[in-house]
Structure 1
Amino acid sequence: MQSRSSGYTLLIGFILVIVLLALAALAIPRLWHPAEEAERTIREGIDARLHPTPTVRPNPTTIIRQIQNLSRLETASYTVEKVITAESGQDALAFLFGDRLLFVAHGRVIAGVDLGKIQEGDITVTDDDRVIVVLPPPEIFVVTLDNEKSYVYDRDTGLFGMNPDLETEARQAAEEEILKAALEDGILELAEENARAYLERLITAFGFREVVFVTATPVPTPSVLPVTVIPLTPTP
């Protein structure tokens, strides 16, 4: 019995030794793994210094194409309500031939920069990764009335004085007054400021460090046509 017990003990000990050796064999690669990682990191760092990857940036022609694809960049919008009084035949015979109307106009002005006007010579890339852009001047794109919100508030017509063109004239005058208000509030300056900010983000995304803008000759401001109307301030 004692001999058999000794045999079991030796067998168990032998199995334990084999298990320990197997665990040790599995642990060795794990112990060496951090060292291998560190060595590979150092090797890659040295290789990157000796053989740096060149930074590829687009040339001016590529930048121009990207910008021109934006076409008419709308960067500022202005909405306002105006009350316009238009009249005709307001003389001694106004009760016969006179016509007078009160028109409430709700309009919108949109301004921006026409990037389709940028030519190849308008963009320069310097050796220190700066981009110089000759930006087209801001301009008015749209002056329009919202027909759903614009309406004739009141109209006083003489016995024979209905003027079929009076409302049209009032609408034209309203557009001119709305444009004038937008220009006075600086819509063109805001449009240029927003266009510069947008293009600066676009160009620096290509990897350039700075964008310098030069504004081209301004576009003449649309003139106000003479009409027989009297603008009024809306009553509260």
Structure 2
Amino acid sequence: MPLARLLRQLLPLAFLLVLGWFLWKKVEPALTGFDPLRADPRVTVTHNTVLQKVENLGRLELVRYRFKDVVEYKKSTYRFLPEAKVALIVAGDAVGCLDLRKVRPQDVVFEGDSVVRIALPPAELCTWQVDHSASKVYSVENGFFQDAELVDEGYRYAEKNVRRAALQSGILAQTTQNAELILRPMLETMTGRRVVLTQQMTVPTLPKRR
């Protein structure tokens, strides 16, 4: 009888242990990595956006040039120290376009019932920029704690070189050629006439009298 009495006394304890083990298995995944001293990150962003300018756009982009260049930019700042140098692997874009806002009423001439003659403005280099997502700094030497400034100067030089390279590569002539290939068929579909594209005549400026 003492054994039976002991079993009856231990049975509630064993039940509580089994219940506790079952509950622990249920809540264990939620408690994994729980730190009572650490709260969930809370980010607060405050901004006030103000519309400063509305600009009418009439530029028709007709060609994009993509450049890849290795730029070595050197700068001598201190007389008795070696010159600072940064090497950049630069990717850049240049876009040629026509500004259709410059088409004047006198630039559109109808000839009979089947022809329209349109004088287009000169081709322009709309944008040129360095694509920083596809560019990287290869090396910096002798920066003397001015590495960031040296890299910025190197990128500014590279951006100017993108413009120069685009003009030397004939992007303006390609823009004019693409206007014939892209703009003329579109205008013929819209007007139902044969479209002849020409260039606006530029009036030379006379030198001022002294």
Same fold (TM over 0.5): yes
Residue of 201, 211, 230 corresponding to 2:195:
211
Residue of 83, 86, 96 corresponding to 1:111:
96
- State the identity as a percent: 27
Could you tell me how far 1:135 is from its partner in structure 2?
Answer: 0.2
Distance 1:217 1:124, change over 3 A: closer
- State the aligned residue count: 146
Instruction: Name the counterpart of 1:82.
Output: 69
Distance 1:134 1:102, change over 3 A: same
Output the CA distance in 1 between the equivalents of 2:152 and 2:104. 40
DSSP-derived class of the 1:165 partner = helix
Aligned structure 1 segments of 4 or more residues deviating by more than 3 angstroms: none
Could you tell me how far 1:162 is from its partner in structure 2?
Answer: 2.6
Larger radius of gyration: 1
Instruction: Give CA deviations for 1:70-125 in whole Å, capped at 9, x if unaligned.
Output: 82111000001111111222675224xx4211111100101111112212111010
Instruction: Name the counterpart of 2:31.
Output: none
Show structure 2 runs of 5+ residues with no match: 1-55, 203-210
- The aligned runs of 1:19-30 (5 Å cut-off) are none
- Higher RCO (CA-CA < 8 Å; seq separation 6+): 1
Is residue 165 of structure 1 aligned with residue 149 of structure 2? yes
Contact (CA 8 Å) 1:85, 1:103: kept in 2 or not? yes
Could you tell me how far 1:127 is from its partner in structure 2?
Answer: 1.2
Distance 1:81 1:213, change over 3 A: same
Contact (CA 8 Å) 2:88, 2:136: kept in 1 or not? yes
Distance 1:74 1:127, change over 3 A: same
Distance 1:163 1:93, change over 3 A: farther
Instruction: Give CA deviations for 1:130-185 in whole Å, capped at 9, x if unaligned.
Output: 11111011101110111111111011116x46365322221121112222222222
Instruction: Name the aligned partner's letter for residue 168 of structure 1.
Output: D
Residue of 175, 182, 195 corresponding to 1:191:
175
Contact (CA 8 Å) 2:130, 2:162: kept in 1 or not? no
Instruction: Give CA deviations for 1:19-52 in whole Å, capped at 9, x if unaligned.
Output: xxxxxxxxxxxxxxxxxxxxxxxxxxxxxxxxxx
Instruction: Name the aligned partner's letter for residue 198 of structure 1.
Output: I
Residue of 113, 116, 132 corresponding to 1:147:
132
Instruction: Name the counterpart of 2:24.
Output: none
Instruction: Give CA deviations for 1:210-231 in whole Å, capped at 9, x if unaligned.
Output: 222221257xxxxxxxxxxxxx
Output the CA distance in 2 between the equivalents of 1:199 and 1:70. 17
Output the CA distance in 1 between the equivalents of 2:75 and 2:131. 25
The root-mean-square deviation of aligned C-alpha atoms, in Å, is 2.3
TM-score, structure 1 length as denominator? Answer: 0.56
Is residue 102 of structure 1 aligned with residue 102 of structure 2? no
Show structure 1 runs of 5+ residues with no match: 1-68, 219-236
Instruction: Name the aligned partner's letter for residue 71 of structure 2.
Output: I
Instruction: Name the counterpart of 1:93.
Output: 80
Instruction: Give CA deviations for 1:37-70 in whole Å, capped at 9, x if unaligned.
Output: xxxxxxxxxxxxxxxxxxxxxxxxxxxxxxxx98
Instruction: Name the counterpart of 2:46.
Output: none
